[in-house]
Amino acid sequence: MSAPAAPATGPYRRTPLAPFAAAVTGVGLVTAAGTGVGAAWHGVTEGLVPSVGPRPELAELPCDFFYSVTDCDPREVLGVAAQRLMDRFAQLAVIAAREAVADAGLDPSVWDSGRVGIVIGSAHGGLPFYDEQHAALTERGARRVSPKLAPLSVVNGAASSVSLDLGVRGPSQAVSTACSSGTVAIGTAHQMLRSGACDIVIAGGAESTCTRLLIASACSLKAVSTRREDPRAACRPFDTHRDGFVVGEGAGLLVLEHPDHARARGATVRAHVSGYGASSDAHSAVAPDPDGLGIERALRTALADAGLAPADVGHVNAHGTSTLSNDLIEAAMLRRVLGESPLVTSTKAMTGHTLGAAGGIEAALTVLALQHQLVPPTVNLDAPDPLIEMDVVAKEARSAAFECAVKTSLGFGGHNAALVLTRA
C-alpha cells in the first residue's frame, strides 16, 4: 500500500488516535438474494435478481412489488413461541447473529458475556407489527391492541432479541440513522473495541419494512421504481434509465473482535474494519447535499482513521440506490476523492434497498469481496450514465487484486457514514 495521506486540514483533520483494525471473524446474512453467507454470496456474485410478482395489497400504488426473504421461515428456525415475541426485523437479526457467531467459532455458553457487545441499526424497527396493531385499533377498538406493541415495535428490538437469544450481557444498543444505520452500527462497534469497552461486538443492521404504508409513502416521495411490467429490472444503479429503488428486507451482521482477543483464541479472520467516518449534511430531511460534501467528509475521515490514502482503495461497495440524484452525487464524490481506478459496485439490485439494514448487508458483502478477491456485479446496468465517471462493475462479477475496500452509506436527514475494510 502507498504511504498514508498527510494529515488533512479543515473538516478532514486526522483523528489523533492511532489506527486500529478490528478483526472480522464472523459473518451472518439473511437477504432476498439468499439466506446464509454461502447462498447470499452466490446470489449476489451471480447477479441473481429475486423473482417477484405484484402484491395484491399494493395494487392501487405505482409500485406493487418488493424483494422479500423467501428461503427462510423464522418460525422453523426460531420456533413459533420465540418468533411471536419478535417483530420480523428482529427475527431476521437473530438468525443472522446465530450464523455470524457460529462462523466466528464462538460458543456463547463459555464466552465472557459481559465483554460482548451488540450494536444493530434499523431505520424503522418493528413497522409491520406497528401497522398490524394500528389496524386492530381502528377496526376493532382499543381493547384489541396488543400489550406487546412497545417491546416489539421499538428500534432496539433487534439488539434486545439478539442479546436475549445469545445471553449477551455487555453493552447492547440500537442505532437509527435512516439508511446509514447498519454502517454506523459497525463503526460504533469499531470504536467500542478500540476503547476497550468490549472484546467482541456483534454489529450490523436489520430491517423489514415491506408494508403497504411504507411503500405508499415511498411512492409519494417518488423514491421507488414504478417499473411494474418488469420488477426484476426495476433497480438499476448508475443506469441512465434508473427511476428509483426496490424496497427489500434482510439482516447483515458481523462479529468484530479486538485483534488481541481474536489472536489469543486462534480465530480465523476474514478481514478487518480499519477505519470509520461519519458526518451530517445539515442540508435537507430527504435530499443529500448536492455537492456531496457530507459523504466526502465521512469518507476522508474514515481513510484518515485507517491511516490510508485514497490511492490504496481498490473497491467501493457504493450506496448506489438507483435514484437519479443519489447516484450522481455519490459517483461524483467518489471520483473526486478516489479517482477513477477503484472498482465500484452496488448490490441493491439483488437484495433490494433494505434501508437500515443496507450498511450491514453491504459491509458483509465487502468483507467477502476482500476475502475472495471478487467484486460483485451491478446488474441491470444496460446503459451506463455517461455522467458517472467511475469503473462500475457491470453484468458479471470481476476478479481483482485489492487490499482495501470502502463501504459508503447515505441516509435521510443527511446521515453519512463510511467504513474502510482491509484484507486479512
pLDDT digits (tens, 9 = 90+) for 134-147: 999 999 999 999 99
pLDDT digits (tens, 9 = 90+) for 72-82: 999 999 999 99
Residue with cell 409513502: 217
> How large is the average pLDDT for residues 78-92?
94
90 vs 73: CA distance, rounded Å: 13
The pLDDT score that the predictor gives to residue 51 is 87
> How large is the average pLDDT for residues 198-208?
98
For residue 68, the Cα-to-chain-centroid distance in whole angstroms is 16
pLDDT digits (tens, 9 = 90+) for 299-315: 999 999 999 999 999 99
pLDDT digits (tens, 9 = 90+) for 257-306: 999 999 999 999 999 999 999 999 999 998 999 999 999 999 999 999 99
C-alpha distances out from residue 122 to 3, 16, 176, Å: 37, 30, 5
DSSP assignment of 171-217 equals: -EEEE-BTBTHHHHHHHHHHHHHHHTS-SEEEEEEEE---SHHHHHH
pLDDT digits (tens, 9 = 90+) for 220-247: 999 999 999 999 999 999 999 999 999 9
Could you give the angle at which helices 37-45 and 358-372 cross, rounded to 10 degrees?
80
Active site residues: 179, 319, 353
Structure pTM? 0.95
Look at residue 11 and tell me whether its pLDDT is greater than 90.
no
pLDDT digits (tens, 9 = 90+) for 174-183: 999 999 999 9
> How large is the average pLDDT for residues 99-122?
98
Look at residue 5 and tell me whether its pLDDT is greater than 90.
no
> How large is the average pLDDT for residues 368-389?
97
Look at residue 16 and tell me whether its pLDDT is greater than 80.
no
